[in-house]
Chain A
Amino acid sequence: MSRAGGTAAVERAAEETETGTEAGPPAARPLRVRNLTKRFGGLTAVDGASFDVEEGSLTGLIGPNGAGKSTTFDCITGVRRPDGGSVHLYGEEITGLPPYAVAERGLVRTFQIARELKEMTVIENVMLAPKDQRGERLWRSVLPGPRRAVIEQERELRERAWETLEFFEIDHLAEEYAGNLSGGQRKLLELARALLTDPHVLLLDEPLAGVNPVLEEKLLGRIHDLRAEGYTFLLVEHDMDVIMNNCERVIVMHQGRVIADDAPAAIMEDERVIDAYLGANV
């Protein structure tokens, strides 16, 4: 589907390898996190976390409950202001930027608890997402002449919106209010919505939680399709099998720190990881 987004990410990477040196050495990295720290009162939820995400990869981010994964996402996307450290997106520092500015630069996230807009229909939800909509200018959506151009663009977007819903196989729900969707369908909607912003990098916070196995297969299939188109994914997931079977690299967090960052097979063997999970389970 959405050719625009997929190829854009690839082109962007290509562009940056050509002009590479300009933005400094790690320019082509979609995401570079260094010493990220976030404290809630006395609790350090993220404690100097550092990691990279490679272009076009599907990277897993795992860790026991409360390890600081969601908080890391919040700090990267500007939902929370980190107390320390830095975040770079394609070499550009985005630390502490407001969420809309981060999203505008091509980094979009989904939420652990789906935040669908309940009183808007599914198609309305996804139509919200595309960037640079002409009609988001007040005067354009009001004045007769410019409004024609707005309507024209809305038609194009509507087409893309329907295609995206078809891609996620929720097009039969297009006119349903999002509040009436099942948990799994909400997750699909969130992902569809995030994709329509034409992102380069997607941070998915437990997109499979509450999704039934059939839908889970489908969703993973979609993620692989998109990755093949050049999107970069960072995926938080509790199901080890999913992580091991789908990610080429896994970052493990524990008590706010990154304790391992390796290929899935190596992670399985890692003493610290086993301890962290065992420790958390006792």
Chain B
Amino acid sequence: MGVSADRLSARLPGGDGALILAVFLALYAGFGLLGVLLGLDANGLASTLQRITFFAAVYALLALALNLQWGYAGLFNIGVAGFMAVGVYTMAMLTAPTDPGTGGLPGLGLPLPVGIVGGMLAAALVGALAALPALRLKADYLAIVTLALSEIIRIVYNSTSLRTFSIAGVDLGTGGSQGLALPTNPINALFYSDARSPASPPTALGEAAFGLFGAAGVQHTTVVDWTYTLVLVVFVWLFYRLLSRVGNSPFGRVLKAIREDELVARSLGKDTGRFKIKTFMLGCALMGLGGILWQGSQSYVSPNNFLPILTFYIFIALIIGGSGSNTGSVIGGALFVGLLFEGPTFVRRLVAQQIPLGDAPDTFVAAVEPLASLDVTPLLAYALGNLASLRFVLAGVVLVYFVQTRPKGLLGHRKEIAASVDLSERPNRPARADGGERR
């Protein structure tokens, strides 16, 4: 990691796009190798790479949204999970059928696109609610307010009293701790004649795709999951484009000035509070959409999907890549998922397969004791058996490493010029010799 990836991107033809592609190819090569060593078949490999791409894409989406707030405008939002939850729950409650069958929860029965837009708007509004009072105070207050709000949101969705309720005669429900059913993934409709049942006969497209990939040994569900994942990749591209436009515009220029010296921006006539609120709301809307796209792959959602640790992970992804850079956000998302999130699981499987570790000891002491006789197996088995905690420790170590030695992230400190045109392009002017008469 000693080499600055920024210089690398300057040397790669194709610039940032090529850099992102290179990171993904490296991840695919790494996980492909692990998969082959594990003896996975074609379907196993395809599904592994799909999983990596899926999580890399959702973390990239959320890191990009956070980059807008934190990287561009210096707004410290540590309630990302809460805004995602608002997006997903609002979408689900807007689209749930008005008269659900037994055990189902009632909703407003609106079409999915309305639900998605509604979810984004709701997340943006909750964002405004949090930011309006907090932005008047010092920057740290926003952090405290968003963290608290995100937990309040989760607890509200978890509450039994809101499992079902009615407002003005309309029945609604959050499902409490049991969660809430999500609308059918529209991708299914591309492949199955009945979108709700993978057992139904495939559509013409489904027939063709299943036939083509089936010949290579790839199962139907893997084909469908890959399609959904590719849709997410398109959304990453859209987010990236959107945020690049925001950054490379007069609006982005004001954000940049706010981050550097807000009083200068204010003294030049910029109502900085409005810029910050708009930025915060857009970021929250994108977090809501990110949540919807993530959970949209599932059939149901519960409050446990939105623990504060999720926000922490998104921050790590952004910090690895370098806040302030959209390319960094995407790369950070991919590296976080590949190296910290999924990587350890695969390594464990591989180790468990190659080395007979026996039963993992129950306690840390029991794991460390045999070290005296130079027996590392129990410790290894213990570590691999407690992977979830180990991953947490690993994430912490990476965070400390980056904050200490590379606070600007892998891409280093990027100073992109905030303008929609090339500012170095000088207006044409006649040579001085002609008497200096201009126009």
* Chain A contacts to B: CB under 8 angstroms: 77, 79, 98-101, 103-104, 108-109, 111, 115, 117-121, 123-124, 127-129, 131, 133-138, 141-142, 147, 150-151, 154-155, 158-159, 161-163, 174-175, 177, 193-194, 197
Contacts and interface: CB of A to CB of B under 8 A. Distances in A.
Given A128-B254, A174-B424, A142 B266 contact: no
B259 to A, nearest CB: 9
A136 B242 CA distance: 15
30 contacts: A99-B266, A100-B269, A103-B266, A109-B267, A111-B267, A117-B256, A117-B257, A119-B415, A120-B415, A120-B418, A123-B424, A124-B253, A124-B419, A127-B419, A133-B250, A136-B250, A136-B251, A136-B254, A136-B270, A138-B279, A142-B246, A142-B249, A150-B250, A154-B250, A154-B420, A158-B421, A158-B425, A161-B423, A174-B426, A193-B268
B427 interface: yes
Nearest to B272: A100
Given A141-B250, A151-B421, A154-B421, A120 B267 contact: no
Main secondary structure of the interface of B (DSSP, over half): helix
Interface in B247-289: 249-254, 256-257, 260-261, 263-272, 275, 278-279, 282
A140 to B, nearest CB: 8
Contacts of A118: 260
A142 B248 CA distance: 10
A148 B275 CA distance: 21
B257 A142 contact: no
A7 to B, nearest CB: 16
Interface string B40-80: 00000000000000000000000000000000000000000
A121 B250 contact: no
A111 B249 CA distance: 26
Contact of B423 (A121, A138, A142, A150): A121
B420 A100 contact: no
A134 B246 CA distance: 13
A276 B168 CA distance: 74
Given A99-B266, A120-B256, A128-B257, A138 B278 contact: yes
B263 to A, nearest CB: 7
Nearest to B266: A99
B268 to A, nearest CB: 5
Given A123-B423, A154-B250, A103 B415 contact: no
A162 B427 contact: yes
Contacts of B253: 120, 124, 127-128
Contact of B245 (A134, A136, A141): A141
Contacts of A162: 426-427
A197 B424 contact: no
A135 B420 contact: yes
Contact of B261 (A115, A137, A154, A161): A115
A112 to B, nearest CB: 13
A117 B260 contact: yes
Which 8 A-B pairs have CB atoms at the shortest separation, nearest pair first? A141-B249, A135-B250, A103-B269, A133-B250, A99-B266, A159-B427, A135-B249, A154-B421
A129 to B, nearest CB: 5
Nearest to B252: A141
Interface residues of B, number: 38
Contacts, number: 128
Contacts of A98: 266, 271
A159 B252 CA distance: 20
B417 interface: yes
B427 A158 contact: yes
Interface in B81-138: none
Contacts of A141: 245-246, 249-252, 420
B184 to A, nearest CB: 31
Contacts of B251: 135-138, 141
A134 B257 contact: no
A117 B261 contact: yes
Given A104-B269, A128-B265, A150-B249, A158 B423 contact: yes
A118 B251 CA distance: 18
A109 B423 CA distance: 25
Given A120-B418, A150-B250, 5 more contacts: A104-B269, A119-B256, A120-B256, A133-B250, A141-B249
A280 to B, nearest CB: 29
Tell which of B253, B266, B272, B279 has the most Cβ of chain A within 10 Å.
B253
A124 B247 CA distance: 13
Contacts of B282: 138
Given A120-B256, A141-B245, A141-B252, A108 B423 contact: no
A134 B418 CA distance: 15
Contacts of B423: 121, 123-124, 127, 158, 161, 174-175
A115 B264 contact: yes
Contacts of A134: 250
Contacts of A101: 271
Contacts of B417: 121, 124
A134 to B, nearest CB: 7
Nearest to A155: B421
A115 B263 contact: yes
A10 to B, nearest CB: 21
A202 to B, nearest CB: 12
Contacts of B425: 158
A97 to B, nearest CB: 11
B250 to A, nearest CB: 3
A166 to B, nearest CB: 9
A134 B250 CA distance: 8
A136 B423 CA distance: 17
Tell which of B256, B260, B265, B424 has the most Cβ of chain A within 10 Å.
B260
B424 A108 contact: no
A28 B352 CA distance: 86
Contacts of A115: 261, 263-264
A124 B269 contact: no
A120 B250 contact: no
